[in-house]
A and B are shown apart, each in its own frame.
Chain A
């Protein structure tokens, strides 16, 4: 069968997954249909809630920039990122050095 795969460890069939997604999507749409539809359009009930503040017209003023995403993760990993940033110095001599050192290390490992 073109759509299924046996790896020796397990079995994969993409259409089983697609059926699963269609069934779950059906449930999601059913739950959504239970929501109230009697709100008043074009009134405050229809407005975006933004912590009680007025929503600015320009989306640029309320969007979260990509560089602010995962702030907590970056702070938690700060020591590792400091090391990685030092490693990516942008200096071509450093980069050539990393290459030569890696070649030497691989050479030693293969030789002995």
Chain B
């Protein structure tokens, strides 16, 4: 037996094991605790990278838990899979890579960042759980398990948002997210339960092979699309996001960005792989486009006027999610028509998936930079900052790279993915790229404001003693900076090996079914 075959199981097992071992290991001293935290996240990263490279050739990895054989999806006599099953294709592995890199960077950053605070056992356990939940969402091939992983990551995030429980703002942010999230969870469960009641199956591939375009299926689709759009922060259901992102410790915010991307993964998986008969060519595509445009524009409008740095970045997250919704919505309009796919659909999907990865890295980096500023100055209010580039040159440099990338300035990676979204959405309607470009200009405007307010200008007396943040924090930021620069310098490699592969995996609806159901 080759250990390589069991990578999908290790992907979730390692962070879960980390979560349950933390209460014991964290009692053995600071050094052991820190080594354990970084080592387990590094192992998760290695597994994530290995899984990603295993799908470069377009392969779909399937792993069955608790069966006679890990690769036997249909035991004799069964017409559809009943066991817990992981199914990882090019699209899933793209998300797994983003999550595992962001989780590792966030963990490295948190070693120094959280050193001033107590509650490490709680922090590490929840961090591991949230990572396991997000990775599970991207790996599972089963709708009910998807719901379970959504809940694992949500419950962990409620705890981490309220981590500083002596701050009323943290408790309020966590309570708001928990309240709406639980309403959403009930609706998601209702949708999955309805499908199970009718088709007697929960496996995504099996459901995709059986689904018909009836009323119950439409209601289930509407509920799943709404809930996952809420989870990834689409306007007007985004209201939890700025509060939650602002109050969470920065290393966790970096991971929370990719957790929202895992919800985006679920949304796209449902639309492209499970319900293509209902979603192609019409209403759902336009719903995603309208949600995307509203998220882009209103998100950035709110961001421009903020002066609390993490809150400002939280509103930008809504705006960035808008680009991805727009791109994948345009892709849905083309779905089912070979000519439209060739004309603009594939470019839109590749642009959207490129933006998913870009966003995971530059947005995570921006949140870490905001955390570094808070660590050094003790404030998140931009009005109180100024002249910090002299004291914190590395943080300032990495902030400039991330800000230029998110603003879509050439030659950075953000420009390339946005450019592909502009080109493809122009074919659908010229107003779409116009709105996206206005959003990009406003994004640049607000990050110029942040850079001017925090890093430029004369030095302020109260910050004379401020020094650059510790090496651990810089290392966390450096990982995301390197990833941003790699995406900038080698977009052709990433496109050929990751985004093209992920987009084609989404288009190959039958291939996704075949991987589980065989020749049926």
Chain A residues in the interface with B (C-beta under 8 A): 1-5, 7-10, 12, 14, 17-18, 21, 57-60, 62-67, 69-70, 73-74, 77, 80-81, 84, 87-88, 92, 94-96, 98-100, 102-103, 106-107, 109-111
Contacts and interface: CB of A to CB of B under 8 A. Distances in A.
B219 A107 contact: yes
B237 A98 contact: yes
A4 B239 CA distance: 39
A69 B452 contact: yes
B457 A88 contact: no
Nearest to B184: A99
Interface stretch (B15-23, B47-55, B484-492): B484-492
Interface of A is mostly: helix
Contacts of A8: 342, 346-347, 423
Contacts of A67: 307, 382-383
B199 interface: no
B226 A3 contact: no
A72 B263 CA distance: 38
Interface in B170-227: 175-176, 179-180, 183-184, 187, 215, 218-219, 221-223, 225-227
Residue with the greatest number of chain B CB neighbours at <10 A, chosen from A17, A66, A80, A109 = A66
Contacts of B449: 66, 69-70
B347 A7 contact: yes
Output the residue of B183, B237, B387 with the most chain A CB within 10 A: B237
B307 A73 contact: no
A5 B305 contact: no
Given A17-B410, A95-B239, A106 B488 contact: no
A65 B416 contact: no
Contacts of A60: 386, 460-462
Looking at A14, A17, A73, A109, the one whose CB has the most chain B CB atoms below 10 A away is: A14
A22 to B, nearest CB: 12
Given A59-B460, A67-B383, A103 B187 contact: yes
Contacts, number: 158
A65 B301 contact: no
A5 B423 contact: no
24 contacts: A2-B493, A3-B490, A3-B491, A7-B351, A7-B423, A9-B347, A9-B423, A58-B460, A59-B461, A63-B386, A65-B307, A66-B385, A70-B305, A70-B445, A84-B302, A87-B236, A95-B240, A96-B180, A103-B222, A103-B226, A106-B225, A107-B219, A110-B218, A110-B221
B242 to A, nearest CB: 8
Given A88-B302, A111-B219, A2 B307 contact: no
B458 A63 contact: yes
Given A63-B386, A95-B176, A107-B223, A69 B237 contact: no
Contacts of B227: 103
Nearest to B312: A66
B420 A81 contact: no
Contacts of A100: 183
Nearest to B243: A90
Interface in B289-327: 298, 301-302, 304-305, 307
Contacts of B236: 87, 98, 102
Contacts of A12: 416, 419, 491
A7 B423 CA distance: 9
B411 interface: yes
Contact of A14 (B187, B385, B411): B411
Contacts of B222: 103, 106-107, 109-111
B459 interface: yes
Nearest to B410: A17
**6 closest Cβ pairs, A-B complex:** A59-B458, A66-B382, A66-B453, A17-B411, A2-B493, A65-B383
A9 B347 CA distance: 9
A81 B305 contact: yes
Interface in B358-387: 382-383, 385-387
Contacts of B347: 7-9
B284 interface: yes
Given A8-B342, A74-B305, 18 more contacts: A2-B493, A3-B489, A3-B491, A5-B416, A10-B423, A63-B460, A66-B382, A66-B385, A70-B305, A73-B304, A84-B298, A87-B236, A88-B239, A92-B176, A95-B179, A100-B183, A106-B287, A107-B219
